[in-house]
Structure 1
Amino acid sequence: MASVQKNIKLPKVDLGVFGGSGFYKFLNNVKEYAVKTPYGEPSAKVAVAEMKGKTVAFLPRHGKNHEAPPHMINYRANVYALKMLGAKAIVSPCASGSLQAHVKPGDFVVCDQVVDRTNSRKDTFYDGPKIVHISLADPYNEDLRKIAIQAIKDNKVPCHEKGTIVVIQGPRFSSKAESKWFTHMGWDVINMTQYPEVTLAKEVAIPFVNISLITDYDAGLVGEGIEPCTAEEIIKTFVSNNEKLVKVLNRFIELFPKNFTSNAEAELKAAVLHE
C-alpha cells in the first residue's frame, strides 16, 4: 500500500502525468502526497514513483475513483500541485471522440491546437492584482509533441501527428448539430478536459503535451453504420486502449530527457502586463 505524505518535504519530479487510476498498478514503490495548494485540493493524492531513471508524478484528473465530472474538476489545484512538485513538463492523455472519418477509434492524436467551447470554468491563476495575458497561439510544446509522436510510433499505434481538439463543457455530449458544426470547421477531435488544463500549465510555465485516445465517432458523423457515442462506449473503449497508452507513456518517459528545458519561463515573463 502506498504511503501518504503531507506537504512537508515534497519531492521534486521530472515529469507530471494527468491520467486515470489505472496507471497506479504499473508503478512500483509509490509514495502518495496529499498536496495542499492555494487553490484547494487537487482531484486526488499525487502518486510519485521512479520510472526509467526519472521521477514521475501521476494525478488522476477525475479523482482516484472517477468521482469528479469534467465541469467540476479543480483544474487550478491539479496544475498547481504539479507546479509545487517542480514538474518540468506535463503529459495529458485523454479520451476523445473523432470529428473526422479518417480519425478512427483506436487511433492516437498528438494535438497541436485547441478550441475552447467551455463556460464558467476557473481558467486563470491571474485574477488580479497581477495581470498576465498568456499567449495560447501554440498551446502544446513542440519538443514534447515530437517525443509523444515517437513513443506512439515505437509502439506501432496508429498516430495522427497533428490535430485540433475542441473542448466542450460536459458532462453531456454534443448534439448532432453541434458536432456537425465542429466537423465543418475542420476540427479533428472532441473532449471535455483539455481546457483549461493547457492554458493553466502555460500560466505556470510548465510545457504541456496532449495525447488524445480516440474512443468513438462523435454524433455528427452518424451514418454508414456509425452510431452516436454513449458514456458506456467511451469507458469501454478507453479501457481497451489503456494497455497501449501505458506502453506509450513508458516509452515517452524513457525518451524524455532528464535535463529537459524550454522557453516557457520566458514566455510567461513576457506575458506579464502588471505586477
Structure 2
Amino acid sequence: MIGIIGGSGLYDLPGLADTRWVAVDTPWGAPSDEILLGRLATPQGEAQLAFLPRHGRGHRLAPSELNYRANIAALKHLGVTDVLSLSAVGGLRADLPPGHFVVVDQFIDRSFAREKSFFGQGLVAHVSMAHPVCGRLGAHLHAALLAQGVPATRGGTYLVMEGPQFSTLAESRLYRSWNCDVIGMTNMPEAKLAREAELCYATVAMVTDFDCWHPQHEHVTVEAVLRVLMSNAENARALVARSVGSIAADGQGPGCACRRALDHALITAPAARDPAQVERLKFIAPRVLA
C-alpha cells in the first residue's frame, strides 16, 4: 500500500475507486485527519492508496501543531509500505523558480518544537539518517515527472524551519550559504519517523516562491504562495497517478533497506526494556518486537 501525505487536492484522482475515510487511533494520539483509502487502476496494475491530509481537511493545523508520530504510525498500522510526501517549499536557488519540483535527497532539520522519535523512555533506538529518503522511490518519482514534462530536479537539500512565520532575510541568506536548495516547514521529523517505522519514504518539494532572498522578486506572502499552489496542484495529482503504478509493481520494494532500518538500531538490552514501551512500539515496529 502506498501512502500519500499532502494537501487535500491530491485526493481528487480520476479513477480512484472504493474510497472510504477511516479513523485511526494510535498510542501517540490521533493523526491530522481521517485517512482516505482507495484503489487506482494503472497500466502496471492496481495500486492500493492511503491519503493523509497533512494539515487536516481545510488546513486546520500549523506545521508545529502536527502530530507527526501519529501520522506516520497511522499509515504504518493500515499496512502502508511506501510513503510519498508532497510539500510546498520556497526556492533558495535562482534555477529553482516557482512551479519547479525537486525530488529531495537530503535534509537539514532546524525544527525545535516537535517530538522527533517513537523511541526512548525504556527502549532506545538510533536509526541511520545518512540517506534520509528512499532512492528507489525517488527514481520512480523523477521518472514520472520527466514523463509528464514537469520541470524537475533530482536531488537537493531541504532546510526544515520551525515556522509558522517565513524566514527573515538574514536567515534566508544563511541557508543559501549552507548550499540548501529549498526551504519548508513540514518534512521533519516526518522523514525521521518514517525511517523508524521502516517505511520507504520520499519527498517531492514543490516550489511556490523564492523565499525572501531574491532581490528582484516580492517578499513571500500567503497570497503569492497560494497562487502557485493552485497551479502546482494539477501537476501533483498527475504525478501521483503516474508514479503509483510503477511503485506498486516494483519487485525491489520488499528487499529495500528502508524496510530493515531497525535491524541494528535497538540499543536497550532486552532484559532492560520497559514492557509497556515495548507493547506501545509494536504498533510501528512489529517486525523486530513481535
Taking the aligned partners of 1:22 and 1:266, their CA distance within structure 2 comes to 32
Taking the aligned partners of 1:123 and 1:249, their CA distance within structure 2 comes to 27
Q: Report the Cα offset of residue 25 of structure 1.
A: 2.6
Residue 262 of structure 2 is matched in structure 1 by 268
TM-score (norm 1): 0.92
Residue 91 of structure 1 is matched in structure 2 by 84
Taking the aligned partners of 2:29 and 2:261, their CA distance within structure 1 comes to 26
Q: Report the Cα offset of residue 44 of structure 1.
A: 0.6
Q: Give the 5 Å matches for 1:79-228.
A: 79-221=72-214, 223=215, 225-228=216-219
Please give the secondary structure, in 1, of the residue aligned with 2:17.
coil
Taking the aligned partners of 1:28 and 1:21, their CA distance within structure 2 comes to 17
Taking the aligned partners of 1:87 and 1:112, their CA distance within structure 2 comes to 21
Taking the aligned partners of 1:257 and 1:44, their CA distance within structure 2 comes to 25
Superposed CA offset, 1:37-89 (max 9, x none): 11111111000000130110000010011000001001110000000011111
Superposed CA offset, 1:4-32 (max 9, x none): xxxxxxxxxx1000011112332333111
Superposed CA offset, 1:96-141 (max 9, x none): 0001111111110001100001112011000221110111100000
Taking the aligned partners of 1:232 and 1:125, their CA distance within structure 2 comes to 36
Note the residue ranges of structure 2 that are not aligned, 5 or more in a row. 271-290
Q: Is the 8 A contact 2:200 2:259 kept in 1?
A: no
Q: Report the Cα offset of residue 266 of structure 1.
A: 2.6
Q: Give the 5 Å matches for 1:18-29.
A: 18-26=5-13, 27-29=16-18
Taking the aligned partners of 1:263 and 1:128, their CA distance within structure 2 comes to 27
Matched, 1:44 2:33: yes
Q: Is the 8 A contact 2:2 2:248 kept in 1?
A: no
Taking the aligned partners of 1:220 and 1:175, their CA distance within structure 2 comes to 9
Taking the aligned partners of 2:83 and 2:194, their CA distance within structure 1 comes to 8
Please give the secondary structure, in 1, of the residue aligned with 2:38.
strand
Taking the aligned partners of 2:7 and 2:17, their CA distance within structure 1 comes to 16
Q: Which deviates the most, 225-234 or 235-244?
A: 225-234
Residue 242 of structure 2 is matched in structure 1 by 251
Q: Report the Cα offset of residue 176 of structure 1.
A: 0.2
Residue 17 of structure 1 is matched in structure 2 by 4
RMSD: 1.1
Superposed CA offset, 1:163-203 (max 9, x none): 00000001000000000000011100000000010000000
TM-score (norm 2): 0.87
For 1:99, give the aligned amino acid.
Answer: L
Residue 22 of structure 2 is matched in structure 1 by 33
Please give the secondary structure, in 2, of the residue aligned with 1:131.
coil
For 2:207, give the aligned amino acid.
Answer: I
Taking the aligned partners of 1:16 and 1:148, their CA distance within structure 2 comes to 14
Q: Is the 8 A contact 2:10 2:236 kept in 1?
A: no
Aligned length: 260
For 1:90, give the aligned amino acid.
Answer: V
Taking the aligned partners of 1:257 and 1:33, their CA distance within structure 2 comes to 22
Residue 230 of structure 1 is matched in structure 2 by 221
Note the residue ranges of structure 1 that are not aligned, 5 or more in a row. 1-13
Q: Report the Cα offset of residue 227 of structure 1.
A: 1.6
Taking the aligned partners of 2:263 and 2:167, their CA distance within structure 1 comes to 38
Taking the aligned partners of 1:77 and 1:236, their CA distance within structure 2 comes to 31
